[in-house]
Amino acid sequence: MDISAVNALSYEDFVNIFGNVVEKCPLITAAVWTSRPFISLNALEATINEFIDALPESGKEGILRCHPDLAGRDLHSGTLTRESREEQARAGMDALSTAEASRVARLNEEYKRRFGFPFVICARTTDKTRILRELSERCQNARAAEMARGIEEVKKICRLRLQGLVLSDAPNKL
Ligand SMILES: NC(=O)N[C@H]1NC(=O)NC1=O
C-alpha cells in the first residue's frame, strides 16, 4: 500500500486498517483522518504524534492504560491484540521461566501501584534481558519522567506498526 492508497481510504477503512497503531486507541486514528492527504508515511506518523502531544496529561495516561502488561493477564488468557501478541512473542515474553514470570509480574504490579499506569516499552526494539532490567530501573523514576518515557515508547510502537501496515506487501491489507 503506498501513501496515495492510504489517502484514498474512507474513514471506515482507514480506522479498520490503522485503528490499532496506538494500542486500543482507534479514536486517535479516526481523528487524524481529517488531516489527509498525507504526503508520506512520516507525515501520517507525525500527525498521530502531534495529536498525542496535544492531549492533556489525563489523555496521555489514558493511552498508557490501554496497553496490556508485558507477560500479563491478557497474554496468559489469549486476549492480547494480534499486534501486541506478536510484539510480546518477539521479545520472548511468552516463554519466560517461572522465576522470570514471577519477577515480571511483581515488578509490573509495583510499577502500576507507584504510577497508576502500566510499564510500556517497545518490545520489538528490545529483548527479554533489557526489558527485565528496564522494568526494575524505571520503577525508581519520577512519575513525570515515566509518563514522558511511556509516551515515547508508544510512539515507537506506533511507528513500527505503521511501517508493518504500509510497507509490507501483504495482499489483504486494503
Ligand atoms: N506494556 C507494554 O509495553 N506493552 C506492549 N509493548 C509492545 O511493544 N507491545 C505491547 O503490547
Pocket test for ligand 1, best of 22, 61, 64, 67 (most atoms within 8 A of CB): 67
Q: Which residues are catalytic?
A: 67
**Confidence band (pLDDT; 50, 70, 90) for 167?**
confident
171 domain residue, yes or no? no
Total number of domains in the chain: 2
Pick the more confident residue, 130 or 1. 130
Q: Which domain, by its residues, includes 15?
A: 3-56
* Cβ–Cβ under 8 Å, residues 173 and 17: yes
In terms of domains, do 38 and 70 share one?
Answer: no
Amino acid found at 92: G
Residue 8 Cα to ligand 1 middle (Å): 30
pLDDT at 168 over 80: no
The answer to the question of residue 172 being in a domain is no
Q: How many CA atoms lie within 13 A of 171 on its CB side?
A: 0
Query: Same domain, yes or no, for 9 and 34?
Result: yes
Can you give the pTM of this predicted structure? 0.95
Q: Are residues 152 and 72 in the same domain?
A: yes
Q: Do 25 and 86 reside in the same domain of the chain?
A: no
- Are residue 52 and residue 67 in the same domain, yes or no? no
Same-domain status, 153 and 87: yes
For the stretch 77-121, pLDDT in tens is 999 999 999 999 999 999 999 999 999 999 999 999 999 999 999
Q: Which atom of ligand 1 is nearest to the CA of 119?
A: 1
Q: Do 112 and 40 reside in the same domain of the chain?
A: no
> Greater confidence, 108 or 170?
108
Kindly compute the dihedral angle of the four CA atoms of residues 60, 121, 23, 80, in this order, to the nearest 10 degrees. -140
Q: Find, among 100, 165, 107, the residue nearest to 136 by Cα.
A: 107
Any domain includes 173: no
Does residue 20's CB lie within 6 angstroms of at least one atom of ligand 1? no
| Same domain, residue pair 149 and 74 | yes
**Residue 173 pLDDT:** 40
Ligand 1 atom with minimal separation from the 124 CA: 8
Q: Are residues 101 and 144 in the same domain?
A: yes
- Residue at 43: amino acid letter: A
CA of 84 from ligand 1 middle (Å) equals: 6
User: Quick one: pLDDT band at residue 169, thresholds 50, 70, 90?
Assistant: low
Nearest alpha carbon to residue 134 among 119, 148, 115, 144: 119
* Residues 21-78: tens digit of each pLDDT: 999 999 999 999 999 999 999 999 999 999 999 999 999 999 999 999 999 999 999 9
Looking at the structure, tell me whether residues 78 and 48 fall in a common domain: no
Report the C-alpha gap between 163 and 66 in whole angstroms: 21
